[in-house]
Amino acid sequence: MKTILRVIVTLSFCATAGCSSNYREMSSELDNYRPPSYFQSIADGTKAAASLSTEQDLSRDEGRRQLAGMRQKWRKVSGASGTADTFYRPEPERFRRLSTAARSDAGAAGVLKRGYTLETLEMLTLIRNPGIHAAEKRLQAELQAFSQVAEIDAVLEQYTAFTEGLMTGVGPMKGKDSVRMKFPFPGVTALKGEVVDASVRAAAESLEIARRDALTNARKTYWNLLYVRKSQSITSETLSLFQRLESVAQTRYKAGNTSFQDVIKVTIESRILEEDLVTLTERTRNLESMLLDILDLPPDTAVGPPVKETPDRRLPALDRLHPLARDRRQELRRLRAQVGKMERMLELAETMILPPYSLGLSYYDDEAVLQAGSAAVKASFFDRTTAAVGAGLPKSPWFGTNDAWLKGTRSSLAALRADLRKAAAATDNHVRNTWFEMDRAVREEILYRETVVDLSKSALDVSTRGYESGTVSFADVIASYTNWLKVRLALARKISDIGVARAELEQAVGVSL
């Protein structure tokens, strides 16, 4: 029995040694194996085709990424800070703090009640003005067109590849990505993106117009409020003087030292000033109501007095303003965007309506089942071109209608370009007129402040001393006081006119100077 076991063990060792030698040879052959040349060429062709398909997909994805980039760029415009070409850019940190506090009606009312500077009023306008909010919503609505342009072509490509081009009856279940879907989709998609970009640019300029006009109204209201409140102070002070004069006139009349006409004159002036004071009070309420309208606040909101500021008297050079206005005026920029939009729309229509540069003779669709073999039902490529689809029937029977539409669009584009030239000329005239108003306001303010006010004060002092000495009549004293009142009111008006004229000049140019 032991002898039999030894024989079996010996045979097992011999068999195992042989298997180990054969395994090493087989492993070496597998490691060094190279496929035949014909198989390698087929594999390389498959990889090249896959690489080409990937590049084409990346090309379409790149177009969509460009659309997404344009959309992201324009999203920044809807913020209050705007872009580098914005009409007014507030101080960021202060604007952030005020924006947090003034979003609610109570917060904004608290800011106004404590008194406000011009800068505070400008920031409140950017935060709360409903016209600005409406323009921002319109811009956001235009931004949605980027998604429409990007997604509609993607849906069409998916339909063509997976539904229209799917052959379920013959061959493998795969989608047909036709070469006809490679063009003109990328080019047309790019044109659509440029059309949307121009449309969004026009909406962005409309937003800047809303900001500019709201800020201009707020600035003009601020300067008019300063004038009216200053007029109230001057009129109240002058009324007190006339009331004392009225008392003096009545005393002198009782003593027989003056006539009844003098008493009547000073009484009339006092009553007129009392009525003027009431009118100025109501005008103040009207201007405060205008502020509440600009800031979208309830009509019963209490408004404090504006903090007194001195207007900027620096007058910019007129020859510098004309080119600046042609470049920065929002209406001109919006018209340019509309012209660009119509140009892209016309190019898009010509691409889709007019005959293409290629006749399509070299287009080759991978439809091997239908194009190869004895059962082929269609040619691999076009071998002829036809002008008609039947007896006397053209291929594009509605081409004449589309061509007429193209001609009409070209005429509309020419008209829009003419409107742009007209608007540019009108802008030059508007800038000239507003510059003149500011120049006149500055000159007249200097005249009243340095000359007229001093002369009027001197005349009042001379009349008062002459009346005390008996050399000047009471009527001349009343006239001197009345002239002193008018001159002081005129100076206050001229100071506010500088601020108002500067606001209108900046509105005409399209940028805060």
Q: Is residue 246 scored above 60 in pLDDT? A: yes
CB distance 214 to 125 below 8 Å: yes
Q: What is the pLDDT of residues 71-116, one digit of tens each?
A: 666 555 555 455 557 888 888 888 888 888 888 888 888 888 888 8
Take residue 302 and report the two structure tokens written for it.
């209490």
Residue 421, pLDDT score: 95
Distance (Å, whole) CA 122 – CA 57: 49
Residue 371, pLDDT score: 55
Cβ-based neighbour number of residue 63 at 10 Å: 20
Distance (Å, whole) CA 176 – CA 63: 22
The C-alpha angle 13, 18, 23, rounded to 5 degrees, equals 125
* Lowest-pLDDT range of 56-70, 179-193, 256-270, 311-325: 56-70
Confidence category of residue 176, pLDDT binned at 50, 70, 90: very low
Q: Is 102 exposed, middle or buried (0-12, 13-18, 19+ CB in 10 A)?
A: buried
Q: What is the pLDDT of residues 192-204, one digit of tens each?
A: 778 888 888 898 8
CB distance 348 to 195 below 8 Å: yes
What CATH code would you report for 59-162+184-241+268-355+404-509? 1.20.1600.10
Among residues 447, 122, 505, the alpha carbon closest in space to that of 312 is found at 505
- CA dihedral (406, 408, 413, 416) in degrees, to 10, reads -160
Biggest CA-to-CA distance, the chain: 171
Q: What is the pLDDT of residues 326-365, one digit of tens each?
A: 999 999 999 999 999 898 888 888 777 766 666 555 555 5
Confidence category of residue 53, pLDDT binned at 50, 70, 90: very low
Confidence category of residue 269, pLDDT binned at 50, 70, 90: confident
Domain edges within the chain? 59-162+184-241+268-355+404-509
More confident residue, 512 or 36: 512
Distance (Å, whole) CA 229 – CA 226: 5
Confidence category of residue 123, pLDDT binned at 50, 70, 90: very high
Residue 399, pLDDT score: 62
Alpha helices in 117-168 (DSSP H): 118-128, 130-159
* Helix H or strand E encompassing 76: none
For the chain, what is the mean pLDDT? 78
Q: Using N-to-C axis directions, what is the helix angle for 105-113 and 92-102, rounded to 10°?
A: 120
Q: Is residue 69 scored above 90 in pLDDT? A: no
CB distance 442 to 344 below 8 Å: no
The one-character DSSP state at 390 is: E
Q: Using N-to-C axis directions, what is the helix angle for 474-509 and 260-295, rounded to 10°?
A: 20
Confidence category of residue 18, pLDDT binned at 50, 70, 90: low
Residue 245, pLDDT score: 81
Which stretches of 255-405 are assigned E, i.e. beta strand? 388-390, 393-394
Q: Is residue 45 scored above 60 in pLDDT? A: no
Residue 174, pLDDT score: 46
3-state secondary structure of 86: coil
Q: What is the pLDDT of residues 330-340, one digit of tens each?
A: 999 999 999 99
Residue 54, pLDDT score: 45
Residue 197, pLDDT score: 83
Residue 289, pLDDT score: 93
Q: Is residue 266 scored above 50 in pLDDT? A: yes
The one-character DSSP state at 452 is: I
Share of the chain above pLDDT 90, in %: 35
Among residues 299, 83, 301, 316, the alpha carbon closest in space to that of 211 is found at 83
Q: What is the pLDDT of residues 450-479, one digit of tens each?
A: 999 999 999 888 888 887 777 777 788 888
Among residues 152, 157, 154, the alpha carbon closest in space to that of 180 is found at 157
Within 13 Å of residue 473, how many CA atoms lie on the same side as its CB?
A: 9
Q: Is residue 175 scored above 50 in pLDDT? A: no
